[in-house]
């Protein structure tokens, strides 16, 4: 396994706490109304998405799936925690691009698909 990938797995995601994100994902009125299992799976997918930014730090145009984007939005709602988590994982803030950008960012979509 890639040494950099192992380093990410051991040092970072285990230090993050996604309880508030999961709560928002499970609330029908403010999230997706996901079940406990679905929310866990969505967060796991989001962590994999974050790993792309960690593995390829000079690339900032990965395009999330709709579900991953929803988790990302839930994570962003607690701005202080999101900034702290970004600092822990990446040493800097990871910006979220609006959904209209995703529709026009074909290069990002192709790059994300290629790296799966």
Instruction: Output the pLDDT for position 69.
Output: 92
Is 26 a residue whose pLDDT tops 90?
yes
Q: pLDDT at residue 3 above 90?
A: no
59 assigned to some structural domain: yes
Taking 60 as the threshold, does the pLDDT of residue 22 lie above it? yes
Per the domain annotation, does 43 fall within a domain? yes
Domain membership flag for residue 10: no
Query: What is the number of structural domains in the chain?
Result: 1
Residue 24 maps to a domain:
yes
Residue 51 has a pLDDT of 84
Residue 39: inside a domain, yes or no? yes
Return the pLDDT at 1: 47
Q: Please spell the DSSP secondary structure of 84-115, one letter per residue.
A: HHHHHHHSSPPPPPPHHHHHH-HHHHHHHHHH
**DSSP 8-state symbol, 78:** S
| Residue 97, in any domain of the structure | no
Is residue 29, in this structure, part of any structural domain at all? yes
Question: What percentage of the chain exceeds 90 in pLDDT?
Answer: 31
Residue 71's domain comprises 15-90
Is the pLDDT assigned to residue 114 strictly greater than 70? Answer: no
- Which tokens is 44 given? 């796991």
User: What does pLDDT average to over the chain?
Assistant: 78
């Amino acid at each position: 396994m890639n040494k950099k990938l192992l380093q990410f797995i051991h040092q970072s995601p285990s230090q993050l706490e996604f309880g508030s994100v999961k709560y928002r994902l499970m609330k029908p009125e403010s999230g997706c109304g996901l079940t406990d299992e679905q929310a866990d799976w969505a967060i796991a997918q989001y962590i994999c998405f974050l790993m792309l930014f960690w593995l390829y730090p000079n690339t900032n145009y990965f395009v999330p799936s709709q579900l991953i984007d929803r988790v990302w939005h839930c994570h962003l709602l607690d701005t202080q925690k999101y900034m702290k988590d970004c600092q822990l994982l990446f040493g800097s803030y990871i910006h979220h691009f609006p959904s209209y950008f995703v529709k026009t960012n074909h290069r990002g979509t192709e790059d994300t698909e290629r790296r799966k």
